[in-house]
Amino acid sequence: MEYLEEENRFYVPGAQGEQDIAEMTFQRQGNDLAIIDHTYVNINYRGQGIADRLFDLVVEKMRQEGRKIVPLCSFAEKQFARKPACQDILAQR
């Protein structure tokens, strides 16, 4: 599976002319924060760990940029609860 990056999202493209299979979008805020605001995986691809990988890619990118993450989307919020190794990048609210 191919994972691609654009300015404010990581995604898995669909076949040519088709909707993307999955995406996670985020918005940078100032110099030190990012908000994960949306996660989507096509129903035919759920349960394969695609959203988990998208989350990991966003976390890696934000660590490289020195940003903390505010998880507004429910999936990202659950991922932070499930992954203790990511607590260092979770913004305190």
Question: d(Cα 18, Cα 84) in Å, to the nearest integer?
Answer: 36
Domain containing residue 65? 4-89
The closest alpha carbon to 35, from 86, 6, 71, 79, belongs to 71
The total of other beta-carbon atoms located within 10 Å of residue 38's CB is: 16
pTM of the predicted model, to two decimals?
Answer: 0.94
* SS3 assignment, position 13: coil
> Which residue carries 């998880």 as its tokens?
71
Judged by DSSP in three states, 53 sits in helix
Q: How many domains does the chain have?
A: 1
The predicted pLDDT at position 80 comes to 96
pLDDT digit string (tens) for the chain, length 93 residues: 899 999 999 999 998 888 999 999 999 999 999 999 999 999 999 999 999 999 999 999 999 999 999 999 999 999 999 999 999 999 987
Residue 3 has what pLDDT? 97
Kindly report the CATH number assigned to the domain that includes residue 79: 3.40.630.30
